[in-house]
């Protein structure tokens, strides 16, 4: 009787493992579908796919990150901050999530928090010229001209090919 119980337990664990793999695969598939829609600038449709992925797998930092990006494009900055924060809690080394949360915070007028997040992104990825450029903008909003100029100089030194574009106000191209 005990042997039968052990076999039943092992079988249920094996099936549960396969079920969780299938759920993860489904969430990943939904994330990919959402990214395709996002790239087509169909942000509402992308949000739907990312939302389904998060419902399937709430602890998936990639799904949360992607959903937050869609919220940002839809100008729902508070929701974007919440999802970027959740992604960061799950993956504290997620430099892109810190960077994008900072952009959302900047849009909400929370410039000090934005500067802190850009700084954290730079701690995680020290050659992150986009974060330097964006931190300069948040510092300007705080009337920290010296800090903004230093950040802009550092960003331009890292990305000489982009410096003129940035200084003309076009900013870095977002590709992540």
Within 8 A by CB and 6+ apart from 66, the residues are 31, 34, 35, 38, 46, 50, 53
Crossing angle for the helix pair 129-141 and 145-158, to the nearest 10 degrees? 160
Residue 83 near residue 71 (C-beta atoms within 8 A): yes
CATH 1.25.40.10 intervals, the chain: 1-74, 93-176
Domain 93-176 has CATH 3.30.450.70: no
Nearest to 88 by CA among 75, 102, 78, 98: 98
Tokens of residue 7, six digits? 């076999």
Q: How far apart are CA 93 and CA 119, in angstroms?
A: 13
pLDDT at 23: 47
Which of 41, 54, 57 lies closest to 82, judged by CA? 54
One digit per residue, the tens of pLDDT, for the chain of length 176 reads 555 544 444 345 444 444 444 444 589 999 999 999 999 999 999 999 999 999 999 999 999 999 999 999 999 999 999 999 999 999 999 999 999 999 999 999 999 999 999 999 999 999 898 999 999 999 999 999 999 999 988 988 886 666 666 666 666 656 55
Q: Which fold has domain 1-74?
A: 1.25.40
Consecutive H or E run containing 143:
none
Measured distance CA(14)–CA(157) in Å, rounded: 54
Read off the pTM.
Answer: 0.80
């Amino acid at each position: 009787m005990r042997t039968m119980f052990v076999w039943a337990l092992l079988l249920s664990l094996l099936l549960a493992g396969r079920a969780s793999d299938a759920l993860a695969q489904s969430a990943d598939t939904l994330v990919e579908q959402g990214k395709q829609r996002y790239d087509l600038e169909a942000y509402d449709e992308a949000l739907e796919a990312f939302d389904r992925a998060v419902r399937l797998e709430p602890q998936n930092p990639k799904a949360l990150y992607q959903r937050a990006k869609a919220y940002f494009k839809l100008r729902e900055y508070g929701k974007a901050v919440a999802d970027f924060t959740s992604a960061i809690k799950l993956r504290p080394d997620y430099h892109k999530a810190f960077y994008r949360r900072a952009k959302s915070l900047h849009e909400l007028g929370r410039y000090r928090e934005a500067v802190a997040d850009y700084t954290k992104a730079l701690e995680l990825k020290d050659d992150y010229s986009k974060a330097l450029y964006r931190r300069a903008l948040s510092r300007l909003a705080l009337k920290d001209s010296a800090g903004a100029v230093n950040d802009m100089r550092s960003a331009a030194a890292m990305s000489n090919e982009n410096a003129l574009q940035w200084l003309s106000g076009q900013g870095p191209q977002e590709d992540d």
